[in-house]
Amino acid sequence: MSVSIAIINYNTRDLLVGCLQSIRRSFPSDTEIIVVDNASCDLSVSTVEKQFPQVQLVRNSGNLGFSKACNQAMRLAHGEAVLLSNPDIEFFDESYKHAINCLEKDETVGIVGPRLLNNDGTLQPSAFRNFPSLLTVLWENTLTGQVLNRFFPEKNLPGKYLYSNIEHESLLYPAHVSGALLVLRKETWAGVGGFDERFFMFREETDFCKRARDLEWEIIYLPDFRVYHHQAQSIKIHGLENKLRLYFHSTYLYHIKHFGTLSSAIFCLLNLSKSGADLAVFSLVFAVSRILRIRAMHRRVRWYLIYSYLTLKIHLIPKFLLRRGITH
């Protein structure tokens, strides 16, 4: 089975160079590599041109978003299997061959996700039992769900979202996998109709996996296929508030598309009430930690306080829901 690698880049030159260097070490020299750059201003393009002349480089005149760039890359790729990657992925061996073998042996498998590792080699959970819904939101954000997750991590209870760390040691058939690195059968991408380009960033892979599932393609999480994921480095550039706006926009778009406007409205109200309650609680804990001069708690709570404040602010100004034209 022929293989292509496609990387979507936006202002992550150093990570992109590291990713391309790891590909050079782990893949055959004639592997097709495509980099789609969304108008980076950090010399990403000139660096790739100079250091990796074999790479096919697509230079967008503006930041078109992740989904559009993915579709650009997939249309150009000649491989029967395409490794669609973020620039913050680092390959360190030839374990990608396990994923290709899965696709070759089973024609029903359309998507394979790897085991993602943090810099220190610890697991980064990336396989999900269910697609996002109001039930999974309630499970993950209520005390009951969190307690059950802690004491019964391997139980497949209704609404449970993530697989446990122990379960990530085994081959899984999840609802969906992380989009940091996807091994896609080109046929699957074409049959699904590509990525929905209304998703600028976040949830595009979840939506893609759901549509692939609806067409009866199998999705596999493969623990033997291992890569490092230097998580969320590209997003840090935008700042937390912009990241949250992008995330909630895509999340509500996903809910409207698959569950209807009512589901999205209920989810919005849940987020609004939760962020308000969190802000009140963390404000109190923050004040107490400052009075008692508990520095470790003070620093930790400060981050949660900022996160809760920004989430509440975003939900109190709902214009972001219409910014990119969310429609059913």
Q: For 69-83, how does the pLDDT look when each residue is reduced to its tens digit (9 = 90+)?
A: 999 999 999 999 999
Same domain as 207, residue 278? no
Does residue 228 belong to any structural domain of this protein? Answer: yes
Q: Is the pLDDT reported for residue 324 higher than 60?
A: no
Same domain as 255, residue 229? no
Residue 78 neighbours by CB distance under 10 Å:
11
The mean-pLDDT minimum among 83-92, 143-152, 270-279 falls in 143-152
Q: Is the pLDDT reported for residue 103 higher than 80?
A: yes
Q: CA 90 → CA 96, 128, 176, 181, 328, distances in Å?
A: 12, 22, 21, 10, 37
Q: What percent of the chain has pLDDT over 90?
A: 64
Q: What's the pLDDT tens digit per position in 180-202?
A: 999 999 999 999 999 999 999 99
- 193 three-class SS: coil
67 compared with 287, residue with greater pLDDT: 67
Does residue 143 belong to any structural domain of this protein? Answer: yes
Largest CA distance in the chain: 63
Say how far apart CA 115 and CA 124 lie, in whole Å.
8
Say how far apart CA 123 and CA 169 lie, in whole Å.
9
Residue after which a domain boundary falls, among 235, 258, 290: 235
* Phi/psi of residue 73, nearest 5 degrees: -65, -45
Say how far apart CA 283 and CA 302 lie, in whole Å.
9
Q: Is the pLDDT reported for residue 141 higher than 70?
A: no
| Secondary structure of 58-72 in HEC code, one letter for each residue | EECCCCCCHHHHHHH
Same domain as 215, residue 275? no
Does residue 328 belong to any structural domain of this protein? Answer: no
Residue-level pLDDT at 146: 60
> Is the distance from CB of 228 to CB of 86 less than 8 angstroms?
no
Which of the listed ranges 131-145, 225-239, 278-292 does the model predict with the highest average pLDDT?
A: 278-292
* Residues whose CB is less than 8 angstroms from the CB of residue 224 and which lie 6 or more positions away in sequence, other chains included: 95, 98, 115
Say how far apart CA 136 and CA 133 lie, in whole Å.
5
243 compared with 90, residue with greater pLDDT: 90
Same domain as 59, residue 149? no
53 compared with 235, residue with greater pLDDT: 53
Residue-level pLDDT at 166: 93
Same domain as 261, residue 149? no
The mean-pLDDT minimum among 46-50, 85-89, 146-150, 256-260 falls in 146-150
Residue after which a domain boundary falls, among 217, 235, 253: 235
Residue after which a domain boundary falls, among 204, 235, 266: 235
**What residues make up the domain containing 139?**
132-159
Say how far apart CA 218 and CA 221 lie, in whole Å.
10
Q: Which string of DSSP letters, residue by residue, matches 87-137?
A: TTEEE-SSTHHHHHHHHHH-TTEEEEEEEEE-TTS-EE--EESS---HHHH
Q: What's the pLDDT tens digit per position in 207-225?
A: 999 999 999 999 999 999 9
